[in-house]
Amino acid sequence: MADASAEFQADVLAIAAHRDDVEQTCGGTLLRMAARGLRTAILDLTQGEAGTRGTAEDRGREAVEAALLLGVGWRQALDLPDGAVENTLENRIKIARVLRELRPRVVILPYWQARHPDHAIVATLGYEACFVAGLTKVETGLPPYRPFKIVYASLYADVRPSFIVDITPFIDQRHASLMAYKSQYATQPTGDGLFVPEEEIRERTFAEARHYGLLAGVKYGEPFVQKEVGLIDDLTLVPVQSI
């Protein structure tokens, strides 16, 4: 992973509330994009200080290991309060500053309906930050920039995906990146009734990926929603067989 202080520009930036959110919802997609030669990055908005398990320092060390496993070139965490993320102008500008620095073409956000309030808020906060980043009169010390595409990782949402990314070749590496968070997923008494037992995590995550893969005719997949209508140039090249 590149030095956080070094100049880096991303093709794809995943923005999430917590360290380990990306690993769960779009880690395989980041691996696939990196394998295609695209520059990938992750922006975690909180430090994880309010988590039932582990500490912010634990999560920070684990996030570095997970980023290496995902092949991302840049990862940082902001200082928004864990469990109390708000869609404020100050927070929009913090994210906009990163967007102007990295200049991603594609931004991945969490789906806008979620059990955890932080996740739902980040969907709207991230979208509005993308808009603010393009406003000339918003001063951040960097020139204005607005991503071309925003997509929403919808793995845990009960919605029909707009599209699926085939992550079949990367499923084991995606799982390894999640399990890098030993403070969260290793067997331990803290939060025992809240967390999935360690021995079941692989089965559950692989089953979810298998479900979405089957929808698209591949073995393992990750789902996404886009708000825009898709555009096709050649009907003979549309993937996924109908019959």
Q: What percent of the chain has pLDDT over 70?
A: 93
Residue 231 or residue 194, greater confidence: 231
| Residue-wise pLDDT tens digits, 52-106 | 677 889 999 999 999 999 999 999 999 999 999 999 999 999 999 999 999 999 9
Q: What is the pLDDT of residues 17-37, one digit of tens each?
A: 999 999 999 999 999 999 999
Helices 117-132 and 89-102, packing angle to 10 deg: 60
Residue 109, token pair as written in the block: 């956000």
CA–CA gap between residue 125 and residue 115 (Å, rounded): 17
Domains belonging to the chain, first-starting first, are 12-237 (3.40.50.10320)
pLDDT in tens, 146-160: 999 999 999 999 999
The pLDDT tens digits of the residues spanning 58-69 come to: 999 999 999 999
Q: Round to whole Å and give the CA distance between 124 and 116.
A: 14
State pTM to two decimals.
0.93
Q: What are phi and psi of 72, to 5 degrees?
A: -80, 150
Written in H, E and C, the secondary structure of the chain is CCCCCCCCCCCEEEEECCCCHHHHHCHHHHHHHHHCCCCEEEEEEECCCCCCCCCHHHHHHHHHHHHHHHCCCEEEEEEECCCCCCCCHHHHHHHHHHHHHHCCCEEEEECCCCCCHHHHHHHHHHHHHHHHCCCCCCCCCCCCCCCCEEEEECCCCCCCCCEEEECHHHHHHHHHHHHCCHHHHCCCCCCCCCCCCHHHHHHHHHHHHHHHHHHHCCCCEEEEECCCCCCCCCHHHCCCCCC
